[in-house]
Amino acid sequence: MARTLLWGLPILAALSAGAEAACTRPEPPPPESKPAKPPLPQKPACLDAKEGCPGWEAYTYNDAVKAYNAQAQAYRPLAEAYVQKLNAYVKASSDYAQCEVKTLQ
């Protein structure tokens, strides 16, 4: 009977050690957190014409470009933050894979 306990003890120790070394699966950033790139302003057809655009249309397009540039400036840090989250997910995925490999050794 003492022999059964001795055999059971290492198995129990191995099982508990395996439970402690469980690998944590990484979570990707939620798709909803991906920022939307602002749309480019619609280019007026007269811009490519020989005569060019009338003043009001050129000014309107210029204002739309300025608004786009402001939106693009606000978009950039959001996009960079999302890229950082994706890179962290890639690293965590690599760490997870390495952890799983170690559990097989």
Say how far apart CA 21 and CA 36 lie, in whole Å: 39
pLDDT per residue as tens digits for the range 76-87: 999 999 999 999
Is the C-alpha dihedral spanning 27, 33, 39, 40 positive or negative?
negative
Category of 57 on φ-ψ map: left (φ > 0), alpha (ψ -120 to 50) or beta: alpha
pTM of the full structure: 0.67
DSSP state of 32: G
50 pLDDT band (50/70/90 cuts)?
Answer: confident
